[in-house]
Amino acid sequence: MKINKYFDDEELKNRCDLAAAYHLADIYGFSDIIWNHITCKTSSKKNTFLINKFGLRYDEITASNLIEVDLNGNIVFGEGDINYTGFVIHGAIHKNRQDLECVMHSHSRSGLAVSCLETGLDILIQDSAMFHNSVSYHDWQGMSTSTEECKSLLGDLGNNNVMILRNHGLLTAGKTISEAFMLMYYLDRACKVQIDLLNTNQNIIKPSENLLEFAAGQYNDSKYKLGKHEWPALKRMLKKNNSIYDQ
């Protein structure tokens, strides 16, 4: 498929970046065979979002085979089916959080482990300070197959961009695709470090509340906007690996 024929420049860029996010998620261990989703708004001109075609692995996702759906879950453009649970989880956020462009959900091993801990995520390392007082929690309600869950999911997320789905996994959202991806990268790594530390059975040094507040503020004021500089480097890696994401 010659994708330039069907999409304007903005949608084409979003499709390519979203497909790149799928391939990168596969590389970094955020994929789960054919399950889970990363979604983004189609463009500023449309009230729809893009989602993966059900049955494809993350490394098979391309700019052209992403499926466009409306906010009621109807397929607007694309061939194939979608996994309805993806619409329930992602559609609720896309419909109600106009400030967010991209939503990412994963079942990574470390994320699943932390999602089962009663205390949730502990902020222990420098790179997790950005999550201080900004992680929401959503209780598991079984498979997300009913739109009735949308209200509680959205309410639990609140104004945050990061949520741990208890007994289920991780969710991040961003103003850009790159921001949502990097939030997942750092959130998953924070979970890995926490599990690693728990396995040592050693005393853990925990930063003070004042220090965490200071460090979180540093991230908010940083000139290194999350995703801005990492994203070109990550896409260069995909190009080096001959990824098919932009087809």
Indicate whether 247 belongs to any domain. no
* 247 has pLDDT over 80: yes
Average pLDDT across the chain, whole number: 94
Tell which wins on pLDDT, 219 or 40.
Answer: 40
pLDDT at residue number 221:
74
* 97 has pLDDT over 50: yes
Domain residues for the domain of 57 are 3-240
Mean pLDDT value of segment 147-174: 94
pLDDT at residue number 1:
46
What confidence tier does 147 reach under pLDDT thresholds 50, 70, 90? Answer: confident
> What is the tally of structural domains in the chain?
1
* 45 has pLDDT over 50: yes
| pTM of the entire predicted model | 0.95
pLDDT at residue number 2:
53
Indicate whether 246 belongs to any domain. no
pLDDT at residue number 9:
93
174 pairs with which residues across the strands? 102
Indicate whether 229 belongs to any domain. yes
Residue with tokens 């040592």: 200
Contact 109, 30 (CB under 8 A): no
Indicate whether 245 belongs to any domain. no
CATH number at residue 49: 3.40.225.10
